[in-house]
């Protein structure tokens, strides 16, 4: 388990062990790749970030991940894998599931809801995430730990 404080000085606990906590996540973060590029969305207020959002009544977090990726990027998920969950102990504590998605295609949409649609990024997303155009969410250590996990545990196995 990784334990750290976020930019707002909230305690964060990140685990790569399924069912670490005895509660269901109410939010999701979906780290996406499309044709060896990182697929992000441009949130109208926060800037560039991976898709994600709140679980709706009756949805599983898998269904939430699929819906959020489609709503915010037009992405159709080819494969989806749970990789982590994290708790933020802030003013309003929450638990969020993190998924890694491979996208098979991007569909053009008239409306991407609270976002301006998909943005593809090549190269080292860990270094690029500090630019002003990126959301504060991208600068969180959760992103660094999860990208490292994806690169070391999932993508290296794909190539090997």
Each as own residue / partner, the long-range contacts of residues 134-138 (CB below 8 Å, 24 or more positions apart, any chain) are 134/47, 134/48, 134/49, 135/43, 135/46, 135/47, 135/48, 135/49, 136/7, 136/46, 137/29, 137/46, 137/49, 137/50, 138/47, 138/48, 138/49, 138/50
| pTM for the predicted model, two decimal places | 0.93
**Mean pLDDT across the stretch 148-159?**
78
**Mean pLDDT across the stretch 143-152?**
94
Sign of CA dihedral 79, 82, 84, 87: positive
Q: CB count, 10 Å around CB of 141?
A: 16
The domain over range 2-154 is classified in CATH as 3.40.50.150: no
pLDDT reported for residue 146? 96
Per-domain residue ranges of the chain: 2-154
From residue 24, alpha-carbon distances to 13, 99, 109, 134, 146 in Å are 15, 14, 31, 28, 19
pLDDT tens for residues 24-78?
999 999 999 999 999 999 999 999 999 999 999 999 999 999 999 999 999 999 9
Whether 156 shows a pLDDT value over 80: the answer reads: no
Q: CA 73, CA 111: separation in Å to the nearest integer?
A: 10
Q: CA 52, CA 99: separation in Å to the nearest integer?
A: 10
Whether 158 shows a pLDDT value over 70: the answer reads: no
Whether 160 shows a pLDDT value over 60: the answer reads: no
pLDDT tens for residues 68-106?
999 999 999 999 999 999 999 989 999 999 999 999 999
């Amino acid at each position: 388990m990784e334990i750290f404080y976020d930019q707002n000085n909230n305690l964060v606990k990140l685990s790569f062990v399924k069912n670490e906590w005895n509660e269901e996540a109410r939010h999701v973060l979906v780290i996406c790749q499309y044709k060896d590029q990182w697929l992000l969305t441009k949130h109208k207020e926060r800037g560039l970030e991976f898709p994600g959002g709140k679980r709706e009544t009756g949805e599983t977090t898998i269904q939430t991940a699929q819906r959020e990726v489609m709503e915010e990027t037009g992405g159709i998920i080819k494969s989806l894998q749970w990789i982590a969950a994290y708790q933020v102990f802030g003013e309003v504590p929450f638990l969020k599931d993190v998924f890694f998605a491979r996208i098979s295609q991007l569909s053009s949409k008239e409306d991407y809801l609270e976002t301006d649609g998909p943005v593809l990024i090549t190269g080292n997303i860990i270094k690029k995430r500090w630019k002003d155009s990126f959301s504060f969410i991208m600068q969180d250590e959760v992103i660094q730990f999860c990208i490292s996990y994806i690169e070391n545990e999932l993508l290296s196995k794909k190539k090997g």
